[in-house]
């Protein structure tokens, strides 16, 4: 078993590499045009192979976080809304295991930057999933209600983590995305 990263920066580097894999998986599973998938995979490779190993400062971490979120948003918006939500929910769930962990309280505190990177991508995936659900055409009230239930469950599972890692404004944005109306296209 590999030893845990020994600092905040090392932990963030490990998390960024794992998050790049999540982005690559999302690029492969979302039904998007080939050009969009290639762009997502290119960003994932750049993060995983170049930026993450060279992460040395908070600015580097911010650049990685911004690239992860931007690529996720681009992929989600290029996908058909009805097809995007499931992959986005799965990617959000995958981000939860990307931050390193340790029994050491000092290292656990040091991994806060890594957790913030993970939660930022989780929030982006969930926000886009919520918007995809809102833009989807549901054939009946039951399907629309099931979508609302998925959104509520995902929001309840993530909002406290988002608030703790990224602050109340980020939690508010996620809650706002979850609040978009969902209605069936037929009675």
The model's pLDDT over 17-73, given as tens digits with 9 standing for 90+, comes to 999 999 999 999 999 999 999 999 999 999 999 999 999 999 999 999 999 999 999
Q: Are 110 and 11 spatial neighbours (Cβ–Cβ below 8 Å)?
A: yes
Residue 186 in domain: no
Of 94, 44, 93, 110, the closest CA to residue 52 belongs to 44
Of 103, 110, 150, 149, the closest CA to residue 129 belongs to 150
Question: Greater confidence, 64 or 138?
Answer: 64
Does 186 score more than 70 pLDDT? no
Residue 126 in domain: yes
* Confidence at residue 117, expressed as pLDDT on a 0 to 100 scale: 97
Domain that holds residue 12: 8-178
Average pLDDT value over all residues in the chain: 93
Total domains in the fold of the chain: 1
* Confidence at residue 1, expressed as pLDDT on a 0 to 100 scale: 47
Residue 185 in domain: no
Residue 3 in domain: no
Residue 1 in domain: no
Of 79, 69, 84, 72, the closest CA to residue 147 belongs to 84
Residue 132 in domain: yes
3-state secondary structure of 184: strand
**pTM for this one?**
0.92
Residue 42 in domain: yes
Residue 26 in domain: yes
Using alpha carbons only, how large is the chain's radius of gyration in Å? 17
């Amino acid at each position: 078993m590999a030893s845990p990263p020994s600092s905040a920066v090392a932990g963030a580097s490990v998390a960024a590499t794992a998050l790049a894999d999540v982005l690559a998986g999302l690029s492969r599973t979302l039904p998007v045009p080939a050009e969009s998938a290639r762009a997502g995979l290119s960003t994932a490779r750049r993060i995983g192979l170049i930026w993450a190993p060279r992460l040395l400062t908070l600015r580097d971490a911010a650049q990685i976080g911004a690239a992860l979120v931007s690529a996720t948003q681009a992929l989600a918006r290029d996908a058909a809304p009805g097809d995007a939500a499931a992959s986005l929910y799965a990617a959000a769930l995958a981000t939860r295991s990307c931050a390193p962990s340790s029994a050491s309280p000092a290292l656990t505190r040091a991994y806060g930057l890594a957790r913030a990177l993970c939660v930022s991508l989780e929030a982006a995936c969930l926000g886009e999933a919520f918007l995809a659900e809102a833009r989807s055409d549901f054939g009946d009230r039951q399907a629309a209600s099931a979508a609302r239930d998925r959104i509520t469950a995902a929001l309840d599972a993530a909002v406290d983590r988002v608030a703790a890692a990224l602050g109340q404004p980020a939690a508010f944005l996620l809650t706002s995305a979850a609040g978009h109306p969902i209605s069936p296209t037929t009675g």
